[in-house]
Structure 1
Amino acid sequence: MFLYVSLHLIFSFSVMATAEFTKDLCTPAFIVDLDIVKENAQAMQERFQKIGVQLRPHMKTHKTLECADIMTAGSRRCIVVSTLAEASFYADNGYDDILYAYPLPFDKVDRCAELSERLALFHIVVDNQHALQELKKRPLKQGKVWKVWMKLDCNNGRAGLPHFDSAALQLAQEISEAPGVELTGIYAHCGNTYACEGEEQIKDVAQETTTLTLQFMEKLKSAGIHGPKSSIGSTPSCSHPVPDMAMLSEVHPGNYIFYDVQQSLIGSCRLENVAVRVLTRVIGHYPHRNQLLVDCGWTALSHDGGGRLPTGYCIIEGHPDLKLLSMTQEHGRVEPISGKLDFSQFPLGSLLSLMPYHACATAMMHPVYFVHSKGKITGTWKPTRGW
């Protein structure tokens, strides 16, 4: 029922598909509405300032310096990254207090050590004893200690030790007792919010994750382990925080800076909050199969979201009757959801504006973002790449 209502709202959302300032861009092009980005950032900052919880924004969605400055309000402190390429990129540009939120890969221990020795604060995440042993083999120089967050699985089902498993408390104890290592915090990701349908379900998952994390913090205290921080996060849960989240130390959402169609479907945001689009040009008319060909394939949009929307892999802005049916590497096929296509509405060379299902995956496809504000291109952002 929620999906039906959401789609009804989506298809009633109509804006001008393209604007004059986009006509000279080489397509496919990834464009970012700077004003919406700033609004999204400010809303999240104010939300957690109000309840007294530290916001540690995740950089994985955009991977740019300019957007990071907006998300941190210019402080260049207290961020999360998903790759060491990101960590090095931000460190090279004056950022500190960086948390590498990925179960420690053993081939990257030396790179993590270099960042730990170079920065005032560089944090890593572990969820197994073997990783702890690797840290013991590589003591840090200059009297520094490894800043370690233990990953806790609070029914998300990706990485981390299950919250109910005695091995979780055992590993936390071993980390806290290891020489040259500090148990800095407990880190949980409530990515299971992405299966929700509406705000109430999102809040239920946020509450469960918060409760289980706080219960684990009490277990640590009972075991004589005092001082570690607690952090949970996902864009849905942080867009609709529950009161108990005020008892956490930090939260770490990321996608909120752009949002996307998926976030609007599950109830994290409204379509008006989505800050990014992919521009594509019509490059072919094929009346015999009732289709347009566009210059946007999966290398410009990603294959995320296929089957979730009546409009295919995206929303074609201003044209709720059109569907991006399929994509090859560099081409997309567009056809009407029903009826015959009026090709005169879509001359060869005309632009279509695609609202992506998953902004993180789509942004990853582009080496440059075109940033606009109030009807003008104001600059470009270049994301870092690699692992």
Structure 2
Amino acid sequence: MASEQQDTIEVPAIGRSRHLVDEILAEADIQVNGDRPWDIQVHREEALDEIVARHSMGLGETYMRGDWDVQALDQFVYKILEADLGRHAKTWRYAWRYLRSFLINLQSRRRAFEVGEHHYDLGNEFYTGMLDNRLTYSCGYWKDAQTLDEAQEAKLDLICRKLQLEPGMRLLDIGCGWGSLIGYAAQKYQVECVGVTISREQRAYVSERYANLPITVSLQDYRMLDEPFDRIASVGMFEHVGRKNHRAFMEVAKRCLKKDGTLLLHTIGKARPANTDPWIEKYIFPNGEIPAATQITKAAQDLLTLEDLHNFGPDYDKTLMAWHKNFEENWPRFADRYGRRFYRMWRYYLLFCAATFRVRRVQLWQWMLSKNRVGGVERIC
């Protein structure tokens, strides 16, 4: 995997005493002010105290401020995760965040539109500069692909084949994004499509781009859905549902699926329930929560039948690195609008996430679930 690169940063030699951060990072073969691509270059010594005190939040926020740099940020984060340096963190600091997820429904209907306004409504032009030509903001399928466009089209076709779409069917896409799946399915498989989104920018884009196709897009919470469909897909949206609403999501799917209908659930996942990284939650995906496999199976219990589970998590590393490449190449178009702090925040987000998939801390799953389909569902991958 090719690592992210940037111009070499000249750091003046400064007198400094050995810090606790030096000792911790040494466990991951990272040096402070070293000369390797993954070595951290510190511009403000006080940032080291903040990193020790605030862990992930401190690391991300000091980077956003420009307190430190690293030539290969993805390698730096990968080494930290591979060495499990998080074990040095005082877990009691995050006890409230863990308890909060049980006491408060962070993904309630009242909160449902927050992530759309914060993240997805940044501007369609911005995402056009980062994503593929269909604006597919989820993991590509790189099995036989060489480019981002090829990987995303392969993923869309894989979903359509798994759903066994046929002309005349009705397909519901819960969290349709910029309409890449429903646009592809309507064009290639001649199905009628309905999409729901919580982003006004996305809805406007889909309505304009696919105006000549049998596609309807609504700005609404998925819990309001109550009409019949032959097939349902949800791609990269379940991470916004939250543990308190997993069961409600499956109930909606069962309610809306016709007899013998199938659901394809494409989601990032973890081995066991865990808190969202605090920096990611604050700056990128408010109220986001990556589900565990046990949470998904429990939510579907007695409602839908699990037919197949496909993991291609390593493909998300490649996808994120491709997005980062596009982001860097197109940043000059957006620099004046978003500013330097946003640039460092977004860069940190893309490369941090690439490293988490590379080290296999998180996975990318496609679940196939049916409404007790007679004869089951053919496995395609």
Shorter-chain TM-score bucket reads 0.3 to 0.5
**TM, length-normalised to structure 2:** 0.32
Q: Which has the higher helix share?
A: 2
Q: Identify the structure with bigger relative contact order (alpha carbons < 8 Å, sequence gap 6+).
A: 1
Higher strand content, 1 or 2: 1
State the structure with more CA Rg: 1
Tell me the TM-score normalised to structure 1 length: 0.32
